[in-house]
């Protein structure tokens, strides 16, 4: 299973930027990795573990912003479709992919 965390945190002031960066760093510290800017993901072993990790996110929430978490199965994640513009297709074809083993 996977947990996707999507967020929109205000970054208009230095203090807001600091809090947004702290939130991102905490996500990484807790095993999440960036999928896209403001979208992070973590792989977990099951629904119980996923719910535990989502509850732990409550402890690192910034004072303002919009944070959403969704739990998806591997089958649901595998059905994700990535849509790319022509420039992005060329960029991806030219870069080697990295294999991750778990």
Specify if 72 maps to a domain.
yes
What are the binding residues?
8
Specify if 100 maps to a domain.
no
Residue 39 near residue 77, CB atoms below 8 Å: no
- Total tally of structural domains belonging to the chain: 1
Specify if 10 maps to a domain.
yes
DSSP 58: G
| Residue range(s) defining the domain that contains residue 9 | 2-94
Residue 5 near residue 57, CB atoms below 8 Å: yes
Helices (H), the chain: 14-29, 47-57, 74-78, 86-94
Mean pLDDT of the chain: 89
37: helix, strand or coil: coil
Specify if 62 maps to a domain.
yes
Flag whether pLDDT at 95 surpasses 60.
no
Within 8 A by CB and 6+ apart from 14, the residues are: none
**Residue reference for tokens 């990484």:** 28
What are the binding residues for Mg(2+)?
8
Specify if 19 maps to a domain.
yes
Specify if 63 maps to a domain.
yes
CATH code, domain carrying 89: 3.30.70.240
pTM of the model: 0.80
Specify if 101 maps to a domain.
no
**Residue reference for tokens 């595998």:** 78
**pLDDT tens digits for range 13-56:** 999 999 999 999 999 999 999 999 999 999 999 999 999 999 99
Specify if 27 maps to a domain.
yes
């Amino acid at each position: 299973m996977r947990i996707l965390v999507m967020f929109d945190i205000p970054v208009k002031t230095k203090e807001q930027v600091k809090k947004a960066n702290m939130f991102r760093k905490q996500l990484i510290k807790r095993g999440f990795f960036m999928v896209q800017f403001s979208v992070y993901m973590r792989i977990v072993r099951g629904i119980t573990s996923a719910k535990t990790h989502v509850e732990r996110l409550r402890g690192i929430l910034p004072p303002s912003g919009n944070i959403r978490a969704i739990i998806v199965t591997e089958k649901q994640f595998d059905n994700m479709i990535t849509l790319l513009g022509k420039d992005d297709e060329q960029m991806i074809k030219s870069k080697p992919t990295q294999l991750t083993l778990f």
